[in-house]
Amino acid sequence: MNRKMKFIAGPCVIESAELLDTVAERIVAINRSLGTDIIFKASFDKANRTSVSSFRGPGLEKGLQMLADVRAKWGLKLLTDIHEPVQAAPVGEVVDVIQIPAFLCRQTDLVIAAARTGRIVNIKKAQFLSGPDMKYPYEKALDAGAREIWLTERGNSFGYNNLVVDFRNIPDMLEIAPTVIMDCTHSVQRPGAAGGKTGGDRRFVPAMAYAAKAFGANGFFFEVHPDPDNAKSDGPNMLRLDDLENLVKNLLQ
């Protein structure tokens, strides 16, 4: 199995083609500068937003076309998430990695549909599960034929409107899967704590990454935006795009 450090980065949601190009151009530059192979991430639909009035994205058909355009123009590998089993097959035609959202990691049909595409499956650990609990979603994907499965840590809920990361989950999940990703931006969320939308504190993103590396994480996930204070989703916990290269460089050392 490939144990090389993996990086995933991109905006929370597809806001516009211009945003995708801005972020993709920077990621290509970082890959060239640092010799990395950062996977580009963006969601075509944020189906789990707090409020019905929250921005969700362009939807499946338009969103996949926009992601395909990123691949064609910038040559980047792609990751996006799915929320329904019917989305797996069309998404698998476009992206390299299909991500199972944390809230949905126990949805058997969703995990199986993703696995059957033949793409890499990244399963995010639910906020209500322990690291060892991820054995069962992993086994579902493996049994359905997935050739490569990643597990992602993103914190646990221990009360209202906050998350806590137990970094012991990382070595626990490394006993299940050879690749364990630290979601360094969603782990600093404060879910529903910003008046009908998710709050967070991006100051702690680098610390989350460095701590995860100390516990053995071999992949890192960053949602990034050139102007996170005005992002349409997850702005408070997204890393500023200008800060990505230095953080990746430090993690590689």
Nearest to 119 by CA among 11, 224, 39: 39
Tens digit of pLDDT at every position of the chain (253 positions): 334 899 999 999 999 999 999 999 999 999 999 999 999 999 999 877 566 667 788 899 999 999 999 999 999 999 999 999 999 999 999 999 999 999 999 999 999 999 999 999 999 999 999 999 999 999 999 999 999 999 999 999 987 778 999 999 999 999 999 999 999 999 998 876 455 556 778 899 999 999 999 999 999 999 999 999 999 888 889 999 999 999 999 999 9
CA distances from 94 to 12, 64, 113, 124, 178 (A): 18, 7, 15, 20, 25
Nearest to 11 by CA among 223, 205, 184: 223
Note the pLDDT of residue 195.
Answer: 52
Note the pLDDT of residue 197.
Answer: 53
Note the pLDDT of residue 240.
Answer: 97
Note the pLDDT of residue 160.
Answer: 77
DSSP string, 77-122: -EEEE-SSGGGHHHHHTT-SEEEE-GGGTT-HHHHHHHHTTTSEEE
H helix runs in the chain, sequence order: 17-34, 60-74, 88-92, 108-115, 135-143, 169-174, 205-214, 244-252
Nearest to 151 by CA among 133, 168, 134, 172: 134
Note the pLDDT of residue 159.
Answer: 74
Contact 105, 154 (CB under 8 A): no
Note the pLDDT of residue 52.
Answer: 65
**Residues in CB range of 246: below 8 A, 6 or more apart:** none
